[in-house]
Structure 1
């Protein structure tokens, strides 16, 4: 690995950590970056997932004030994320590599669409907050399903989680964003543990993304919340579209 490649992966990790803490679509930066440097799709995915774990933890730590009083909710929904992330990680390893490479363009397209329509989802979420208190029964199964998706691939996992939590749980969006960061960290961590033992991992890539994502996670939890969302979405969508074009042209 040359210095230019290492620097690009490190910077992608910083961007992913920042975006994951604020919005949740950082994989759409790191994964295409690894593909551009010639890493096989499955190796890029598992290395990226492990590398983003420290950044997810850093983002959750940055939102610790918003997490006060949410212990029971985080523990309950965290079990769903744990089980879902494990199931998604196992699916990635059990299914043929060709199956993952075939479905990756569709997953990236889904991630881009979720980011693109993020403002509409947010408005819908905000409008539903006047529907009363409590937590709808379907939130736990939906968090589990999101965990499966996150363990398998993970792009825009945070957008999905915010939609689920915002529509199904009566609380402020900032507090729910803190919950989202913890749940995403759990999914990445459990899938990462599975990958670390049985998958083809590039540990230098993991280290670069990990360092970058920790820096980005701390930035995202503090300064990042003041960045213009349209700028972040524009970057993510652009990178995702480029990745789609590259993958479909191969």
Structure 2
């Protein structure tokens, strides 16, 4: 539910995996793999909002997918402590960017979509894909910032797109992780079941929340997650 509403499932799932005894990199891979099911649950509960937007989503999916492949390969080839020390700052930056994205001037810029802003938004989406494949925590926040610069859809539809894109990025990562024999299924399966149920319920819940409130909820969780990851890394 936290993922569908505030893009922060890892605030709960990543620490839970560490507590359950998974090593940090294995916990990250397991978390990324299981998060696919949040997107599936969210998709099933947002079919009405996505009507007429699937072709648009397909464009974003290709861009996101390219980045996810790169990020997943980086994690398989270079696992270790580096990402643990970088990620807390990226999460904190994402939360700050999400609050700033509600600024009237930036909102006007998003509404007046130029080829230049779209170009940089697509570049941002590639980096978001890389981040999704490499770590993934708060990747939905980045997509929530980028998508308004590309899409004219309502916020609830953009949020649904964010969930689907995140699930796609995680699916690509899972395929690469399976080929490298990195997935711990005894953790992944029960976590996936919970994420599927929460994703479905969360997308239903967001219909009753304002876009501004969701931004502030997400930013609040960003600070908590960044603090936890800083504590774990240092």
**The TM-score by the shorter chain falls in which range?**
0.7 to 0.9
1:158 to partner: Cα distance: 0.8
2:66 to 80, 83, 103: 83
Mapped partners of 1:205, 1:186: distance in 2: 20
Please state if 1:241 is matched with 2:222: no
Unpaired runs of 5+ residues, structure 2, are none
Match of 2:5 in 1: 22
Q: Tell me the residue number matched to 2:176.
A: 194
Query: Residues of 1 paired with 2:229 and 2:16: CA distance?
Result: 8
Alignment match, 1:8: none
Is contact 1:133-1:169 (8 Å) kept?
no
**8 A contact 2:113–2:149 mirrored in 1:** no
Residue 128 of structure 1: aligned partner: 109
- Superposed, which structure 2 residues align to 1:150-189 within 5 Å? 150-189=132-171
> Quick check: 1:207 aligned with 2:189?
yes
Q: Distance in 2 between matches of 1:209 and 1:80?
A: 28
TM-score by length of 2: 0.85
For 1:102 and 1:177, locate their aligned partners in 2 and report how far apart those are by CA, in whole Å.
30
Runs (5+) with no aligned partner, structure 1 = 1-17
* Alignment partners' CA distance in 1, 2:121 and 2:14: 28
The answer on whether the counterparts of 1:85 and 1:187 sit within 8 Å (CA) in structure 2 is yes
Alpha-carbon separation, structure 2, partners of 1:223 and 1:158: 17
**Cα displacement (A) at 1:28:** 2.9
Aligned to 2:120: 138
* Offset at residue 89 of structure 1 (A): 0.7
Distance of 1:61 and 1:187 partners within structure 2: 18
How many residue pairs match? The answer is 228
Check the 8 A contact 1:129/1:171 in 2, yes or no.
no
Root-mean-square deviation (Å): 2.4
- Tell whether 2:81 aligns with 1:73: no
**TM-score with structure 1 setting the length:** 0.80
Partner of 1:3: none
Asked if 1:102 corresponds to 2:82, the answer is: yes
Q: Identify the match of residue 113 of structure 1 among 74, 90, 93.
A: 93
CA distance in 2, matches of 1:146, 1:61: 24
